[in-house]
Structure 1
Amino acid sequence: MERLMSETNFPAESITIAEAEAMQLFSNLSTKYRQSILANMIQKLAGLFPLTLQGSITLFMAAGALRIFGYGSMDLVVFSLAICALAILIFCLFCSVISGVLVQRSVYRTLGSTDTTAKVINVEAGFPNETGFKLPVLNYFPLVKLSWRITFPDYIETRVRVSTSSELVEEIIPKKRCLAENVVRQFIVSDVLGFCRYSWWQDQPIRFKALPRTNTVKPLPLLRSLTAEDGIPNPSGDPEGDRMEIRPYAPGDSIRNIMWKVFARSRQLNVRLAEKSIFHSKRTVAYLLSSNNDEAAAAVARVALEAAVLGEDWAFGADGSELPCETLAESLDAIARSRAISPPFSYGLDNFLTAAAGQSGAHCIVFAAAEFAPWLANLKKTIGRHSGHFSLVLATDGFEDPQSFSIWHRLFFQEPGSDSSPLERASPKHDLINLLTELGQLVESTLVVDRKTGLSFDQTLRKV
């Protein structure tokens, strides 16, 4: 594809900047996709080789010692040790391969006899969860152990424990949210000495949904949008009522609105403006923007949906979802799906506003991570294009204050580490303030939520 694109001569005036960026993005995605396929193929081919690195080194050393010292120098001690090492290696290879074939058939029977179409794995990130997958304890040959792990979806820690009924029970701890229609496991049957192993990948068609961890996030205040009193905006401008609002004159005000009689008495320019006819609407639209560190934003959006703070009539959307969601179950699925497992999702707020709000200029609540992400430039363009107002809810896993220590302090003392997980990234206060300053002038209101403590802050990072 890259060669075809490089050899094709396009006229300079026929390709726009957006098309060039799209072509470059497609080229990068195709390169990453080919690299991932190549890495998976190499990994699978390596899994078919029955000897581990330790087993291969033992085989070469025993064979070399047997050839050079055992047969060449007729050293009986080296000869006996090399023969014993090769015999143990062959015995471990036989036990691992035979046990692996028997376990593989048992896994096929277990997955085939279970009605997987009626099962759904619903878990929450950060907590141990049982998936219901069980296998009998491996007791075909001695010195052989069985283990497996989930390779798809990613960011899942797999544990295997023995139950009271002598069964191997699968227990997982998801690190991030996800939504998938199948689960891929890698099974490994190996000997206790680490010489040989028999591994394979098994695909199970089952719906897997992991929701973000909410921690101690408190329910947000009732979020409602402001629309026209009659629900239909005026095509010529914002809905306006009687001229009741009075304020001092400002450059740009029309001279028709100046109160000339008051000016004749007090020599102060005041203007009378039309009162805007607005009310708290029952309709609210909300959207979740995805990025690399958006687990906290997804958790806040989940709390807002489950606590019903969006009102009675609402619509929710997220990156990766084509249509607006109007039920809690669909919205939670959209939150779990918003984290792309392989290629990243495209920016979809514009399409969501067109489908959910149309041309009514509804008030939109945007959930996003408290970081400078690729969606920032697109969000600015969306705010400039649409006539409705926007409210921004930023979420983070704590605030990070960069501290500078002297060279002697760093030499003799260990810097304090973070108590949170490496996947829970705290936002530096300096970057967060710059982000709030940049977006605070474009949106109607801004709220910062700390998932680590459950507290909320305003635009100046004061607790609310």
Structure 2
Amino acid sequence: MFNTVKRSLRACFDWIPLTARGAVSIVVAGVALRYLALQEHDRLLLAACVGGLFVIAVMALAVLATGLWLRFRNLPVPDRIDAMESVQCETGLTLPLLASIPCVVVNIRWLNCDGVQVDLSRGRDGCHETIRASQRMQRSEIVRQFEVGDVFGLSSVKFCRTFAQAVRVEPMPAAGCSIAQVRRDQQGDDLVHPNGKPHGDLVEMRHYRPGDPLKLVLWKHYARTRQLLVRQPENSIASMSQTIACFVAGPGDQASAGVARTIVTELKQAGEEILFQADGSAAATDSSAEAIEQIILSADARQSGGGIVAGIGSTIQDHVIKHCVAFVPSQPGAWIDRVVAGQTASQLQIDAIIGVDEPAPPRRHRFFPSWAFHRDPGDMIQLQQVQAVVDRLSAAGISTRIIHRRSGHAWSTAGYRGEVA
């Protein structure tokens, strides 16, 4: 009851078109007008005080009118927004009247979407809303907070509106990331079966068809007979899937999300049979599209991140899981304890891949000490966090690899251990 009354009073106060600067300006102008301009018959000060009060009144009325117009006007928006992390995207929201109102500015915030920067760009037909998201997310509606004010900071009103507009932000993929990072870990025995899928050994042959990879062509047979034949895999079924890729949600997991998306997608395009499951999902999947959806939805499971490792055995039926490739965050948190406990309980062999956006640790100079070179304090904090993750996982017997998302290069964990204490 008390919270409801508090919210109602706050909503009413937000509609008062005066800021602290505007209220102080009115008091100062009123005192100067009453005790200086009128008593001393100072016409110049009189004109300044009256003009100042007039400007404050006009700005307050303009801001209040604009706020009421935005609050009750029907603003058409598209049903869905598909965006990419760190990429500017238009949302389809247009405010036509604002382009012709001078001295009035509007700021928009998305209250139910963290990490979204909202900008309004003026055009001929109005102001267009654009966003740049720094986190992956998926929402069924958008709660926008409009703050209307003037360029002098004298008046301001705030209100919220809910739009039935779904938003989906995908993690930015890693650039040039090699699928060899996990391909060498793929294991499993295939049994020949006529009803299986063509992913067995390349023991059969057929005539070449347009679109077949040239690396499968039997060039020696073509040199002898002038007939193009290609190798064809036999139909087989996998008796067990010994490797699964999982995504662990937690603080600083955005770069790992991009690396996981790229590697899993390229593995599926290359024909690899791999299962994938992310924190917050109920079952594993062998579809790259469903894997991306699980990665996006895992953003809401950061508080319980790491529990996927312990639950892998119970969520997958008719499979023997012996090896796990885990994409883990770059910042320490409670997820590390859950991953270590899950490894102990399930007896999994885990290879952890850490995605980072931070710069590489500085190399040791031959003649000068490392403290002689300037390093941004924020970069050093990020490097120390990555090093803490590497040390903790290594102490638990989990092998770690670091992949830089922007370049796709793999960094040695020994370099981190040697440079960051």
TM over 0.5: yes
Assess, with a 3 A threshold, how the Cα gap between structure 1 residues 321 and 84 changes in structure 2: closer, same or farther.
same
**1:174: how far off?**
0.9
Bigger CA drift: 89-98 or 302-311? 302-311
8 Å CA contact 1:446–1:458 kept in 2: the answer is no
**1:96: how far off?**
1.4
* Residue matched to 1:145: 105
The answer as to 2:161 corresponding to 1:202 is: yes
8 Å CA contact 2:243–2:321 kept in 1: the answer is no
* Residue matched to 1:87: 54
8 Å CA contact 1:283–1:314 kept in 2: the answer is no
Equivalent residue runs for 1:318-329 within 5 Å: 318-329=278-289
The answer as to 2:64 corresponding to 1:110 is: no
**1:228: how far off?**
6.3
Taking the aligned partners of 2:8 and 2:257, their CA distance within structure 1 comes to: 34
Assess, with a 3 A threshold, how the Cα gap between structure 1 residues 197 and 133 changes in structure 2: closer, same or farther.
same
Residue type of the partner of 1:161? Answer: S
Equivalent residue runs for 1:57-136 within 5 Å: 57-71=24-38, 75-106=42-73, 109-111=74-76, 114=77, 116=78, 119-136=79-96
Residue type of the partner of 1:153? Answer: C
* 1:344 alignment partner, SS class: coil
Residue type of the partner of 1:437? Answer: S
Taking the aligned partners of 1:98 and 1:197, their CA distance within structure 2 comes to: 11
Taking the aligned partners of 2:287 and 2:360, their CA distance within structure 1 comes to: 33
* 2:45 alignment partner, SS class: helix
Residue type of the partner of 2:51? Answer: C
Equivalent residue runs for 1:207-286 within 5 Å: 207-221=166-180, 222=183, 225-227=186-188, 284-286=243-245
* 1:210 alignment partner, SS class: strand
**1:297: how far off?**
0.9
The answer as to 2:404 corresponding to 1:437 is: no
Residue type of the partner of 1:162? Answer: R
Correspondent of 2:21 among 44, 47, 54? 54
The answer as to 2:247 corresponding to 1:288 is: yes
RMSD: 4.0
Taking the aligned partners of 1:200 and 1:40, their CA distance within structure 2 comes to: 12
CA deviation vs aligned residue, 1:53-107 (integer Å, no higher than 9, x gap):
321221121122223324565555433322221111111111111122123333x
* Residue matched to 1:185: 144
Taking the aligned partners of 1:460 and 1:174, their CA distance within structure 2 comes to: 33
The percentage of aligned residue pairs carrying the same residue is 18
Assess, with a 3 A threshold, how the Cα gap between structure 1 residues 402 and 69 changes in structure 2: closer, same or farther.
farther
**1:192: how far off?**
3.0
8 Å CA contact 2:241–2:320 kept in 1: the answer is no
**1:123: how far off?**
1.0
Residue type of the partner of 2:394? Answer: T
**Runs (5+) with no aligned partner, structure 1:** 1-33, 232-278, 404-408
8 Å CA contact 1:371–1:435 kept in 2: the answer is no
Residue type of the partner of 2:410? Answer: S
Taking the aligned partners of 1:135 and 1:54, their CA distance within structure 2 comes to: 27
Residue type of the partner of 1:205? Answer: A
Equivalent residue runs for 1:273-352 within 5 Å: 284-308=243-267, 312-340=272-300, 344-349=303-308, 350-352=310-312
8 Å CA contact 1:227–1:363 kept in 2: the answer is no
* Residue matched to 2:337: 377
* Residue matched to 1:24: none
8 Å CA contact 2:240–2:319 kept in 1: the answer is no
Taking the aligned partners of 2:5 and 2:287, their CA distance within structure 1 comes to: 41
Residue type of the partner of 2:62? Answer: C
Residue type of the partner of 1:384? Answer: T
**Runs (5+) with no aligned partner, structure 2:** 193-237, 365-369, 417-421
* 2:58 alignment partner, SS class: helix
CA deviation vs aligned residue, 1:158-206 (integer Å, no higher than 9, x gap):
222234x523222111112222222222223323333112332221122
Q: Normalising to structure 1: TM-score of the pair?
A: 0.66
8 Å CA contact 2:330–2:385 kept in 1: the answer is no
* 2:128 alignment partner, SS class: strand
Assess, with a 3 A threshold, how the Cα gap between structure 1 residues 370 and 92 changes in structure 2: closer, same or farther.
closer
**1:379: how far off?**
1.3
Assess, with a 3 A threshold, how the Cα gap between structure 1 residues 432 and 168 changes in structure 2: closer, same or farther.
same
* 1:64 alignment partner, SS class: helix
Residue type of the partner of 1:68? Answer: Y
